[in-house]
Structures are given as structure tokens and as C-alpha cells.
Amino acid sequence: ETGVTQSPTHLIKTRGQQVTLRCSSQSGHNTVSWYQQALGQGPQFIFQYYREEENGRGNFPPRFSGLQFPNYSSELNVNALELDDSALYLCASSSYRDPETQYFGPGTRLLVL
Amino acid sequence: KNEVEQSPQNLTAQEGEFITINCSYSVGISALHWLQQHPGGGIVSLFMLSSGKKKHGRLIATINIQEKHSSLHITASHPRDSAVYICAVRWAGNQFYFGTGTSLTVIP
């Protein structure tokens, strides 16, 4: 079991609303990555944060944004929700010195109606 | 276009069977990962490979860098092995690319 936690575990929103998902990283990890996993698909990289700055971004529109705090916890914000945003959102923390080793949180399951 | 391809997508096996899941990728990588995802969604790292073969209990992972191919084997499969198995790679940049996963069901 990793030390990465996510909240909430489940969430239901309607189209057009905004949502904030939270991630608490493994102790000592200064890098967090966020992934979207649609049903039946593998995770897709959204973006990564290192030392509170965005450090790489996948093919997601600007309405997906993030924050990383000094304690390395992180948020994923999604504005103007669309039905296709329904997915499992995973965060994973790692150390910048060992980027290959990621520890995943349990995920937040988002349903957009 | 998916840089990481897995096969099969779905697999049903009888308890005790030997299972193989395959992963192919399209570019040079620094390492390949095999991950396990249970129905609740949490992902656990099984192996990280950059060459050769690794073994952990009944799980064996191999990689052929020249052929850009990796396999995950499960010996003496058990119903508790039922899960989605995902391979993932990382190359230039910070992002990981994931396969679509292989859903394994082991029947008692």
C-alpha cells in the first residue's frame, strides 16, 4: 500500500460545472503526475508538477489545470465539465531523482451527467 | 495511434493455467513497467524492466529491447490474480504511455 491518497473517492457532477480533485503525495516525493483513465482504457497523461511548476503536459485542453503546493500535495481542476470527462482520475507521486518509480493513489471516479 | 500495444485485451483462464500477456512499443525507452489494477481502481507496480528478465513469486517479466517487446507470465494462475494488467513505458519527456490493459479472469 502506497502513501498516496486521493479525495474524494467518487464524485457526480453535471455538464458545465467545475470540479477539484485532490492528491496527497508519498512522503519525500516532490513530483506528481495526473492521469485520466476512461472505462476500458489505459491511463492517459494529463500533466506533471515538480516544485509547484507544471513540468510536462499531455494532450488535454486548458480547462484541465493543476496546482502543487509547498507540501507537495496537488490539485487537478477541470472547468466546463463535459460528458467525456467521466473517468477515473489517478495521481502518482515520484521523486525527481527516480522518475521511473511512481506510486499511484487509489483514484477519484468522476461521473459527469 | 497508440505507442503501446497490449494483447490480448481480455483473457479467461482456468485456475492453474500458465498465462502470457504481451506488450509492444514503438520507440526506444529507458524502462518498461508492468502494473496491476484491481476493480477498485488502485494501481500497483509489479515490475520495472530495462533488460532481461525479472521474477517475483509466480510472476515473470521479460523484455527484448531490440524487438521492442515485453511479456508478463503468470505461472499456476489463481483466482486472486484476476485483475487488469497494464504495461507502461517512458521515453523523451516526463510522461508515461500506457497500454489499454489486459483484463484477466481466472476461474476456480
Cβ pairs bridging A and B (under 8 Å)? 61
Q: pLDDT tens per residue, chain B (108 residues)?
A: 568 999 999 999 999 999 999 999 988 787 899 999 988 778 999 999 988 999 999 999 999 999 999 999 999 999 999 999 999 998 766 678 899 999 999 999
CB contacts, 8 Å: B98 with chain A = 35, 42-44
| B13 sits in which H/E element | strand B10-14
What are the DSSP E strand ranges found in A1-113? 5-7, 10-13, 19-24, 31-37, 44-50, 53-57, 64-68, 74-78, 87-95, 98-104, 108-112
Which residues 25-84 of A are in CB contact (within 8 Å) with B? 33, 35, 37, 40-45, 48, 55-56, 58
Q: Exposed/middle/buried for B1, CB within 10 Å: 0-12, 13-18, 19+? A: exposed
A76-88 pLDDT tens trace: 999 999 999 999 9
Question: What is chain A's mean pLDDT, rounded?
Answer: 92
Residue A102 has pLDDT above 90, yes or no: no
